Amino acid sequence: MCETDEGRSIGSKNIITWVFPFPEKSVRIYLRSGLRQCRSTVRKRISISDSENRQRDERRIYRQKPVVCIRRCVRQASLIVRHEVNDMDTAVQRDYYRETGTVKKRIENYWNGRSESFMEQREEELHSGQHQIWAEELLSHLNGRTGLKILDVGCGCGFFSMILAESGHDVTGIDLTEGMIVRGRQLAEKYGIRAEFYQMDAEKPEFPDETFDVIVSRNLTWTLPHPAEAYEQWLRVLKPGGILLNYDAEHARYHMSSGLEGEEAHRMLSQGQMDECMRIYHLLPVSSWKRPDWDVFFLKQAGCAEVTADTRIGKRLFPHDDQFRTPYPVFRIKAVKGGESD
C-alpha cells in the first residue's frame, strides 16, 4: 500500500491523497485507491525548493506521463499539474482553489471585461437563424406548456431568457457578473421583452425551495468552482417533476490542447483576456473531469428520476459554418427531478 499524507472517502470508495509542496502553492491529487498504475508513477513528495535542482526534477517528472503531466509556469516559476485519469471519482483540488472568494472574483472580473463584446455577440445571435434553432430546441422539452416559471442560471446577457420570455414564460435570469445583468436588462428593454434579471451566485441561488418548473443553463458549469453544490442548489429550487436543461462543453480540455486563438467566439478578446481565461481553466477542478459522464453520474446520485446526455446535439444546434459554430463538441444534459409534479 502506498504511503500517503492524507486520505478521505467519497461514498464507499477510499481516496488517496498525494501532496506536492510546490513553491507558494500546493496541489492535491485525489485518485481512487484501485488505480495501481498511479502508485508506481506518482511519488509521495516531490520537492522543488532550489533553483539548482528544478530542471533536473522537472525532467524526471515529465517522464511520468500520461498519469501526471507537469508543465513549467514560466512567469511564476511554479508548476501546474494536470492528470489524464478518466475516472468518475477523480478530481483535482488545489489549496488556492479553496479560496473560493478569490477565484470567483477573478471569474467575475473576467466576464465583466467581456460583457460588452458578449452582448454584441448575443444580439447578433438573436438576429440570426440560431434564434429559431434554439427556440425549437428549448420549447421541445416543455410539451407545449406556457406560463412556466423558468430560471436561467448564468444567463449572461439573457439570450435564453429572452427566447423563453417571448414564448410566454415567466423567466428569471441570474448571473454572477454585474456587467452581464446590466446588459441583459438593456437588451430586454430594447426588444420589449419582460424578464427579470438579478446578480446572484449560481452556486447559491437565493430562492425558496421548489420555486421553478424549469431550469436552463448554457456554457456555465465549466466556470464553477463547485459544480456539485450548484447542481444540488438547482435541484432544491426546482419543483418535483421539474426539468433541468444544461448545455455545455469540455471547453478547458479542448482549449488546453488547441488554444483560444483563431476561434470565432473569441475574436473580440484581447491577448490578456485569453491568457486569463486559460489561467481560470487551471484554477477549476471541473476542467479535468470527463464530461458529461460526471454530470450524469452526479445527477443520478442526487436522486433525479431521469437523466440523459446528448453528445451529438452540437451538429443540430450549429448546422452552419458561421461565427456561432463551435469547434468543440457541445452536449446537453437533461434531468427530471424526482417526485410528483403539480
Model pLDDT, residue 320? 87
**Residue whose C-alpha is closest to residue 291's, from 232, 249, 231, 243:** 249
Residue 268 binned pLDDT confidence (cut-offs 50, 70, 90): confident
**pLDDT(178) > 80:** yes
Last residue of a domain, one of 98, 124, 158: 98
Verify that 148 and 93 share a domain, yes or no.
no
* DSSP element (H, E) containing 197: strand 196-199
Model pLDDT, residue 186? 97
Verify that 109 and 238 share a domain, yes or no.
yes
DSSP letter at 20 equals E
Verify that 201 and 275 share a domain, yes or no.
yes
Residue 264: CATH number of its domain: 3.40.50.150
Alpha helices, H only, 191-270:
227-237, 251-258
Is 341 part of a structural domain of the chain?
Answer: no
Is 342 part of a structural domain of the chain?
Answer: no
Q: Interhelix angle for 227-237 vs 293-301, to 10°?
A: 50
Is 272 part of a structural domain of the chain?
Answer: yes
Verify that 121 and 17 share a domain, yes or no.
no
Neighbouring C-beta atoms of residue 52, cutoff 10 Å: 8
**pLDDT(4) > 50:** no
Model pLDDT, residue 327? 80
Residue 1 binned pLDDT confidence (cut-offs 50, 70, 90): very low
Taking residues 272-276, report their average pLDDT. Answer: 90
Burial of 218 (C-beta count, 10 Å sphere; 0-12/13-18/19+): buried
Is 148 part of a structural domain of the chain?
Answer: yes
Is 228 part of a structural domain of the chain?
Answer: yes
What is the domain extent for residue 33? Answer: 6-98
The answer to whether the bond into 319 is cis (omega within 30° of 0) is no
Verify that 213 and 287 share a domain, yes or no.
yes
Higher pLDDT, 34 or 49: 49
Last residue of a domain, one of 98, 118, 152: 98
> 129: which residues sit within 8 A by CB, 6+ positions away?
320
Is 206 part of a structural domain of the chain?
Answer: yes
Is 279 part of a structural domain of the chain?
Answer: yes
Verify that 189 and 92 share a domain, yes or no.
no
Last residue of a domain, one of 64, 98, 132: 98
pLDDT averaged over every residue in the chain: 77
Is 1 part of a structural domain of the chain?
Answer: no
Verify that 230 and 113 share a domain, yes or no.
yes
Model pLDDT, residue 263? 66
Burial of 251-261, coded b for 16+ CB within 10 Å and e otherwise, reads bbbbbbeeebe
Model pLDDT, residue 264? 66
Residue 35 backbone zone (phi > 0: left; psi -120 to 50: alpha; other: beta)? beta
Verify that 138 and 228 share a domain, yes or no.
yes
- Bridge partner list, 246: 217, 333
Q: Is the dihedral of CA 268, 153, 325, 293 positive or negative?
A: positive
Verify that 136 and 233 share a domain, yes or no.
yes
Q: What is the pLDDT of residues 107-118, one digit of tens each?
A: 999 999 999 999
Verify that 70 and 169 share a domain, yes or no.
no
Taking residues 288-311, report their average pLDDT. Answer: 96
Domain count, the chain: 2
Verify that 124 and 208 share a domain, yes or no.
yes
Q: What is the pLDDT of residues 60-110, one digit of tens each?
A: 433 444 333 333 332 332 323 333 333 333 333 444 445 568 899 999 999
Verify that 224 and 186 share a domain, yes or no.
yes
Burial of 29 (C-beta count, 10 Å sphere; 0-12/13-18/19+): buried
Model pLDDT, residue 260? 67
**pLDDT(302) > 50:** yes
Cα–Cα dist 245/313, whole Å: 13
Q: What is the pLDDT of residues 212-249, one digit of tens each?
A: 999 999 999 999 999 999 999 999 999 999 999 999 99
